[in-house]
Every structure is written in C-alpha cells, then in structure tokens.
Amino acid sequence: MNEQNKQIKEGNVLELWAPKYPEVTQWLSHLQKKAKSAYYLYLFCQWANKTPTELLALKKDPSSKEAERLLNAFVATDLKTLHMTNPVQFLTVQNVKSFFKWNMCDLAKVAGQMNREKQKEYHKMLKEGLRKLWNNTYNPRDRALVTFICSTAIAKETLSKIQWKHLEENWEAVELPCINLPSELLKGHGIGKYKGVRQITFLTPEAKRDLINYKEWLEKSMGRSVTPEDNIFHETYTPYNPATYAALGYLMWTLSKRAGVPFSLHDARRWVNTALEQIGISSNWARKIRGRMVRGEESPYSQPAISQLRDKFREAVHLLEFTTETPTVSKEALREEITKTLEEEKLKSIAEKYHVTLEQVKTAMRSRKTDWEKVLAKRKPDNCADGRHCQRIVSEDELPELLTAGWRFVATLPSGKVVVSNET
C-alpha cells in the first residue's frame, strides 16, 4: 500500500489519510490524542502494506491468529530497518492493538509484547535550576506558569483547560489554596475506568503570589475582570485567547532554551512527586494530588478530606518552593513549625530527666492512659527503692496537699499531670 498523494505526517494524517477509512474514524472517536494515534497506525499500515480495512479482515475469522503473527513480526523487525526508535515502535504496537480493540476484534494479549526502553535520563531538577528558569521568564504569565506547575503537578492538557472556577472560593486569602479538578479535565476524561477520578492539589505560597500578580496583569491587559468561566492561562497578546496545549508545550521549551536549563512540563510533575515522597505521604494521597486513579477509590479511607490533604501538603512546601533562597513561609506555618520544635525539645528534656529514651516518651504520650509510672519504673533512681518515694507524678488536685506535706513541684507534663519530689 503506497500513498500517492502528499507525504503523510502527524500534522496532516487526520485530513489526508484517516477520513478514508470509517474504521479509523470510529476508533479515533474514543481517543484523546487523535493525530498521534492515527499516525502510528498509518506507520504500521505502511510497514504491513495493508489498509486499515485489510487489517481488520485478518480477524474476520475470530479463531485466526494471522493478525497477531503480523504484529509479532513487526516487533521482531530490526529498528534500523523500520527507521524507528524503540518508543515509536512501542507506541505503534499499542495503537494497533487499540485499533483492533475498538473495532471489536481484540488481539491476544501476548501479541506484540515488548518493553519500552528509556532513551535518556530524566532531568535531575535542582532549586537553583528552577530559580534560573523562573528568572528568565518573559512576563507575569510565564512566572505564574512555572511556579504553578511546580506546585500543583497539573498535566499539560489540563493546563490548557483549567478555569478560575476550579480554585477554591476566596483563594487569594487562603494560605494554601486548593484546586479541585473534575475527571473531565484529567487523563481519560472520566470515561470508563477513569470515571470519578479527581485531582485535588494546592498552590504553595509563592505560586499563589505569582498567580495573584498574573491575574492583576491579565485583567489590566484585557481591560476587564476575569470570570469564573475564563481559562486561567491566556496568550499574552490581543485578543488574549486561551493558551492551547501546543502553545504551552512550546512556551516551556522556549523558556528552557532561554535559561539553559533542561525542563519540560512533565519534569514539573516529577518535581512535585519527589517532594511528596520525601515527606512520606501515602501513595493514594500522592495519586490524588497528581490526579491519577486511586486504588480502592470507592473506600472512604481513600478520600481524605481537603483539610487533611492540605495539612500533609504543607509539609512539602519547603521542598517545592524555589524562587528565593529563603522559602515563602506564612505566619501560620511558621507558628506551627515553632510549636512542633518546642514540643520536641520538651519531650527530649523529659527523656533526659527521667533517663528514658525519646521514643519511650513519645510512646507514653500516645498512650491513652499516659502511664508515666510504667516508663519511670523501668529506670528507678539509685537511691529510691520503690520508684515513688523520691519523685511522684500526680494530678493537679493532689498537688496542694503534697506541697503542704513538704513535697516540691518539679514540672508539668504534656498530659497535664505534674511531677513532685521530696528529694533534698
């Protein structure tokens, strides 16, 4: 089968080749990336010297394995002969199998099995590199985009569709604004196994700062206020149309070249995922933030409240922020960090005083009974036979009577009880 017309490419396959075959049109109606998928099928048809109609005819007899053998022969063909890379061959196989599937002619699962080889190492992102990228942006829109993607892990296709209404109400006043995206904007578009999948993610303080600046700049440029139905990311010139999928990808490529920092939109997703891994977040919560299917989604335990998810995300903020040497920290977050540090120091002091380990103190804290007598009994003072004579832990109600009897106040424990001593 040889095409007689203009050379078929990914950019024209939907106009010059796909419409000729109803089977292809029907198949593409179920897919997101139609041009790429059609082009991979076209490559296979060229190799097999068959039309899509002739391919399906190989499965006219369901018991026939001729189509499977043809696909296996394609996989076994040397890449140099195919003039393909391993990833292109892999994606061609996947799309051929998808073409048969959506035309109700499923191929055997073992047909065309192969591994996709990694062609290059992932970019190892550092804060210095991201800061350089951010400093080489052209305008407030670009700066907001860089911090936005490195905070939210939102995919490129979703970026081209996200609207202001997807941010929580009064987001400018929220420390870590939530972005709640429906399945229609995510991978799979909420169809089939992707039904009900949502992405619940957040803006870091620096991402919120840049988004506020961009919003003000955009409204001034357009001469009007943005509406909830407006896309967030627009072109930066009149008539300020929404930025397309292709335009966002090209923009990031341009910024990467300008800054001399290897970076792609997918690198931003890895940046977020790495930070989430470092704080020990559960895999299901991480998938929720990245907008991926959650295992056991029907279980209420896999649907954390936004407040819980936000609290866990807060732990990753210092890992995610990069625009300055000093991360942007809110007063609330700083207060919480100070409180945690002071509590830790208090527990260490208690452990040292009573000659027990910090872990024993924490275990006692977690215990409902807060049974400090058991902890102290493991390490009695040398000069105290029963472990209660020299020091005791009592309630506040018992304190006045003991002080009258000559006992001395020592400390207040986190449980609310107090330590008293009659040591001289």
- pLDDT tens digit string along 218-242? 999 999 999 999 999 999 999 999 9
Give pLDDT tens digits for 380-421: 455 555 545 577 788 877 777 777 777 777 777 766 677 878
CATH class in words for 127-320: mainly alpha
Q: Which of the two residues, 130 and 339, has the higher pLDDT score? A: 130
Identify the pLDDT of residue 301. 32
Q: What's the confidence (pLDDT) of residue 214? A: 96
Question: What would the pLDDT profile of 247-299 be if each residue is shown by its tens digit?
Answer: 888 898 999 999 999 988 888 988 998 998 898 887 778 888 887 665 544 43
Query: Once rounded to an integer, what is the mean pLDDT over residues 177-181?
Result: 91
Q: Which has more pLDDT, 269 or 208?
A: 208
What per-residue confidence (pLDDT) applies to 216?
Answer: 96
**Residue 123's pLDDT is what?**
57
Residue 356, pLDDT > 70, answer yes
Q: Percent of the chain, pLDDT > 90?
A: 42
**Which residues neighbour 197 within 8 Å (Cβ) at sequence distance 6 or greater?**
183, 186, 187, 188, 190, 291, 292, 293, 294, 297
Looking at per-residue pLDDT, the higher value among 148 and 31 belongs to 148
Mean pLDDT for 39-56 is: 94
pLDDT band at 1 (very low <50, low <70, confident <90, very high): very low
When comparing pLDDT for 17 and 109, which is higher? 17
Question: Given this model, what pLDDT does residue 409 score?
Answer: 76
Distances (CA, A) of 307 to 47, 201, 338, 379: 54, 11, 21, 41
Q: In the prediction, which pLDDT does 337 show?
A: 66
Residue with the larger pLDDT of the pair 356 and 378:
356
Q: At residue 212, does pLDDT exceed 90?
A: yes
Query: In the prediction, which pLDDT does 418 show?
Result: 77
The per-residue pLDDT of the chain, averaged, comes to: 82
pLDDT score recorded for residue 334: 62
Q: Which of 229-233, 342-346, 374-378 has the lowest mean pLDDT?
A: 374-378
- Under 8 Å between Cβ of 37 and 93: no
Alpha-carbon span 182 to 197, nearest angstrom: 7
Which tops the pLDDT comparison, 5 or 216?
Answer: 216
pLDDT at 300 exceeding the cut of 80: no
Question: In this predicted structure, what is the pLDDT of residue 24?
Answer: 94
In this predicted structure, what is the pLDDT of residue 385?
Answer: 53
Pairing between β-strand 199-202 and β-strand 408-412 as defined by DSSP bridges: unpaired
Tally the C-alpha atoms within 13 A of residue 168's C-alpha that lie toward its C-beta.
18
Contact between 116 and 235 (Cβ < 8 Å): no
Mean pLDDT computed over 145-159? 91
> What is the rounded CA–CA span in Å between residue 271 and residue 123?
10
pLDDT digit string, tens, across residues 102-143: 999 999 988 888 765 554 555 567 899 999 999 999 999 999
Q: Are the C-beta atoms of residues 38 and 28 closer than 8 Å to each other? A: yes
Q: What is the DSSP string of 287-355?
A: HHHHT-PPTTTTSGGGS--HHHHHHHHHTTHHHH--SSSS----HHHHHHHHHHHHHHHHHHHHHHHTT
Q: Give the pLDDT of residue 23.
A: 94
**pLDDT recorded at residue 343:** 75
0.85 exceeded by pTM: no
CA distance 344 to 187: 43
Q: Which run of H or E residues covers position 391?
A: strand 391-394
- Bigger pLDDT: 52 vs 368: 52
**Range(s) for CATH 1.10.443.10 in the chain?**
127-320
| pLDDT of amino acid 84 | 85
Residue 202 in this model has a pLDDT that exceeds 80: yes
Asked whether the predicted pLDDT for residue 30 surpasses 60, the reply is: yes
